[in-house]
Amino acid sequence: MLRKQFAMIGFGAVLVAMTALAQDEDYTRFNSDASVQALGSFVKSTTQDGVRQNATDSGGILASYRYYFDRHNGVEASYAWTQNTEKYDLSGVKDNLHQMSAAYVFRMPMKRLSPFVLAGAGAMVFDPKQYVGASTQTRAAFVYGGGADVNLTEHLFVRCEYRGFVYSSPTYDIASFDRLDRVTHRAEPSIGFDWRF
CB atoms within 10 A of CB 54: 20
CA angle 148, 151, 152 (to 5 degrees): 140
pLDDT for the residue 111: 86
Q: How confident is the model at residue 25 (pLDDT cuts 50, 70, 90)?
A: low
Q: Inform me whether the pLDDT recorded for 21 exceeds 90.
A: no
| Number of helices (H), then strands (E), in the chain | 1, 10
Q: What is the pLDDT of residues 62-104, one digit of tens each?
A: 999 999 999 999 999 999 999 999 998 878 899 999 999 999 9
Q: How many domains are contained in the chain?
A: 1
Strand bridging mode 58-68 / 32-43:
antiparallel
pLDDT for the residue 20: 42
Q: Indicate the residue type of 147.
A: G
Determine the structural domain holding residue 18 and report its residue range.
2-196
CATH code assigned at 55: 2.40.160.20
Q: How confident is the model at residue 22 (pLDDT cuts 50, 70, 90)?
A: very low
User: What pTM does this model have?
Assistant: 0.84
What is the share, in percent, of the chain residues with pLDDT greater than 90? 69
pLDDT for the residue 105: 98
What's the chain's average pLDDT? 89
To which H or E segment does residue 7 belong?
helix 2-19
To which H or E segment does residue 186 belong?
strand 183-196
